[in-house]
Amino acid sequence: MCRRSTAHTLATALAAIALTTPAISAVPRCGTVEVWDFSGLPLLPFGGEVLGASTIEGTIVGTTVNVTFRADETFSAADFAFQMVIPVSQIADLTSFTFWGQELGWSGSGVFSAELTTDAFNGFVSPGDQPFFFWFAVIANTNFEGGPIQGELLDLRYRFQFDRCPRGDMNCDGLVNNFDIDPFVLALIDPVGYEAAFPECTHSGDVNNDSRFDNFDIDPFVAMILGGS
């Protein structure tokens, strides 16, 4: 599902995207969706690269890409391509996923949208012993003779789905410890409040593994916290 365009990159724009770069320390992810939003990203006339850094750590199990591109009258959407490259340790040093207007059936000017899914990034991502890992994206014009890129990325979001959290991990930080006690209680007595406090967090409160989350999970949860198992 990973395709590469044949276009050459003539210009490079290096920009650390703040919204995908949290504080400099590993940030565990599990049971959540991490969204990288490139909507409105400036497009260089003949393409270029965007360099960013991230501290997220966890196992990606699926990725959805939502894109809406507006091509001006002087540019054909068929010639627009975008590639994301991320280091996924279980696959290779770098892995990528590319979408290309022509392969999506885009042509001419106007507004074009697509929703894509890929398993290209499935695997473990982590800064390791570094403060963060680098990723980069390539914006490409696949037809230089057709003139510079003229248009706008109205919407471009990568949604990375992370694997389920371990049983008892109620705050989706990848760990089971005392910091899960308050979220556990909140999820039991006020599910709506829990969802508001931990949006996008798919907890693993069914500690006794009976396919339900209820009062019967309290004792095994306490035992897990006290016993560390």
pLDDT (0 to 100) of residue 17? 32
pLDDT (0 to 100) of residue 73? 93
pLDDT (0 to 100) of residue 91? 52
**Could you state, in order of their start, the residue ranges of all structural domains in the chain?**
16-162, 178-226
DSSP secondary-structure letter at 19?
Answer: G
pLDDT (0 to 100) of residue 188? 94
For the chain, give the longest Cα–Cα distance: 69
Per CATH, which fold does 16-162 belong to? Answer: Jelly Rolls (2.60.120)
pLDDT (0 to 100) of residue 25? 61
pLDDT (0 to 100) of residue 202? 78
pLDDT (0 to 100) of residue 185? 95
Distance (Å, whole) CA 96 – CA 84? 5
- Per residue in 161-205, pLDDT tens? 999 888 999 998 888 999 999 999 999 999 999 999 988 787 788
Contacts for 96 with CB less than 8 Å, ≥ 6 apart: 2, 4, 83, 84, 85, 86, 120
Q: Name residues of the chain where pLDDT drops below 70.
A: 1-25, 89-92, 228-229
Q: What pTM value is reported for the model?
A: 0.76
